[in-house]
Amino acid sequence: MATESTNSNQTVVERESNAQRSDAEHLEQVILAQPELITAAITDNLDAIREAAALVGAARRVRLAGAGYSASAAEAGGHLLRAVGIDARASHAFDLAVYPPGFDASDLLIAIASGDDRSYASRAVQRANHAGLSSIAVVTQLAPISNATITIQIGREEMTPTDLTRMPALIAALAAIAARFEPRAPLAELLPRLGELVRAILPSRDVALGVAGALADPERRVLLVAAGPAMSIARATALALAEVGGLLVMAQHVEDAILGGLRVLRPGDVVVQVAPAGPADARHRDLAQICSAVGIDRWRIGGPTDGARWHTDLPTGDETLLTVVAAIPLLWMVQSMLAGTDSDSTPS
């Protein structure tokens, strides 16, 4: 009986290992397809994007809402629209659907959904409809929302190990709305090259492997740190690493990390700075000095190395849109954690 039990346990472990390996291979292919998925999110929806930009221009205020990964996409969308002069505010879809005060008469809702997170985004659209307001649904094929005034649909009709893979295309579609509204904005100049920039950063996989190797010990903790537009992708990555990698992960604003958030870390843990060049540069430098003083390893994505153990360069340009580019090395880290790494053999 003991032998039968041992064999059964081994079979279960092997099946789980094979499933995890299959998920990692699938995630790898989806990451490699990101340039095409991002470009298609815009080119496949040109008419809807034009109509959405007209609604944005007619609104006094734009409310963006999503849950899970889509809440982070909504946060990024708020930054994109504010960058072109729109009064835009992001809320969690649950709060917008359930809690008062609801909408003002001149609001426009942009509801975002990528998969299983669509329930409360859909309820927010219903609430907007009952208030007589227009709405835009930015969704994947797996998360349709009915009764929106305009629908922008992105991505393939397939499941992925994490919906973090859908965030770049969702943000690209939101950026296209902003660029259509204000074609002279810096983000509008960068948008046509977004797919090219994402393709150029795909080799960041090697660095991500090194970071993942350092985190092979389950006792290691990760703190993702960002500010401004980059905060959205930091939060989403923390969710993906917890969901896929089973890690104890936190995402904090750089100022909060400096004010005390770093105290939960110890030597051997890792800080990931998602830091495209921008107004937060000085505080990221301050954070780097603190980490060096207490022996915390860092991965700096964007900006100068500042003594980081790992560094991934980002192109120069509009910070709000470079969030999409910064998502790629973070996706590689998630994929590496899912695939499993050997901390003694990965590059650093």
241 DSSP 8-state letter: I
Nearest Cα residue to 340 out of 7, 118, 21, 127: 21
Q: Give the integer Cα–Cα distance in Å for 42 and 191.
A: 10
pLDDT at 19: 63
pLDDT in tens, 294-338: 999 999 999 999 999 999 999 999 999 999 999 999 999 999 999
The per-residue DSSP string of 138-149 comes to: EEETTS--TT-S
Better-scored residue on pLDDT, 76 or 8: 76
CA 245 to CA 338: how far, in whole Å?
6
Report d(CA 138, CA 135) in Å as an integer.
10
What are the structural domains, with CATH classification, of the chain? 36-192 (3.40.50.10490), 201-339 (3.40.50.10490)
| 42-83 confidence digits (pLDDT tens) | 999 999 999 999 999 999 999 999 999 999 999 999 999 999
Instruction: Find the mean pLDDT for residues 31-39.
Output: 97
In this prediction, residue 248 carries a pLDDT of 77
**Residue 345 pLDDT:** 38
Tens-digit pLDDT profile for residues 236-262: 999 999 988 777 799 999 999 999 999
Q: Tell me what pLDDT residue 342 has.
A: 43
Cα–Cα nearest to 68, from 202, 198, 176, 170: 170
pTM for the model stands at 0.91
Structure tokens, 207:
């660095």
Express as a percent the part of the chain with pLDDT over 90.
80
- What SS3 string covers 61-128? EEEEEECCHHHHHHHHHHHHHHHCCCCEEEEEHHHHHHCCCCCCCCEEEEEEECCCCHHHHHHHHHHH
The predicted structure's pLDDT at residue 60: 96
Q: What is the pLDDT of residue 16?
A: 53
CB 190 within 8 A of CB 321: yes
Q: How confident is the model at residue 10 (pLDDT cuts 50, 70, 90)?
A: low
Provide the mean pLDDT of the chain: 91
CA distances, 213 to each of 111, 246, 311 (Å): 37, 15, 15
238 CB-side CA count, 13 A: 25
pLDDT at 344: 39
Is the predicted pLDDT of residue 12 greater than 70, yes or no? no
